[in-house]
Structure 1
Amino acid sequence: MYEVTETEYGFELTVDGTPDTDQIDSLIASAREAADSTTGSFGVVADFRDLTVFPQEAADELEELMRYCDDAGMERSATVVDAATTKMQLDRLVENSGIDDRIVDASDTADPLSVAEAWAVDGVEPS
């Protein structure tokens, strides 16, 4: 399951479970639509705490989405994770995409979404 929610700073993506190819395609289309509807620079927070793992075939599409959002005006993004495998997968995607993303480990803080938003909105480095 996924949800894309517009926020004051841009938008938030929430993904849980193990999305199949159709769900990944829908997520990407919804996120592109959200990026296109923003004006000026914006931030993105991805809540992947309940995500099991992205299918390997989705990695290229997610990397392309990161670049698309960057081209559309995304200034910063932050991704909240709670599983080591998801973190490793996202570390690789972020490195390959060159996007200014911070990965927030939910087990390291009581309010990981606030930490992620602080980065996406104000550039406050997660500690």
Structure 2
Amino acid sequence: MATVTAAAAGSRELAHPARTEIRLEGVLHALSDPMRMHIVRDLSAAATELACSSFELPVSKSTTTHHFRVLRESGVIRQAYRGTAKMSGLRLDDLEELFPGLLAAVLEAAERQAARD
């Protein structure tokens, strides 16, 4: 897991794992939750960064924050403040480099499951 630097601790920068720190088990854990999969599917469909406030999840704000933190700390997403908005985007390049085809396969399986439901 990424360590928060002294500069980041006092600022609005968010800690992210370096590419070399991203672990398969962390990514799979992050993707195993239906709410987090919902976030990842929305980010994938948008193909751009989205503000955290643009997600409508049927959970509390604190639970939503927790889900975004799990995705960020596992290396699935990158978050940054743009003005007052916290923007999130998939770390596609990092995930594809480390685990070729994994995210695409998981997203495809999620789409098939959604079509069945």
**Please, what TM-score do these two structures have when normalized by structure 1?**
0.29
- Normalized per residue, which structure has more helix? 2
* More strand per residue: 1
TM-score by structure 2 length? 0.30
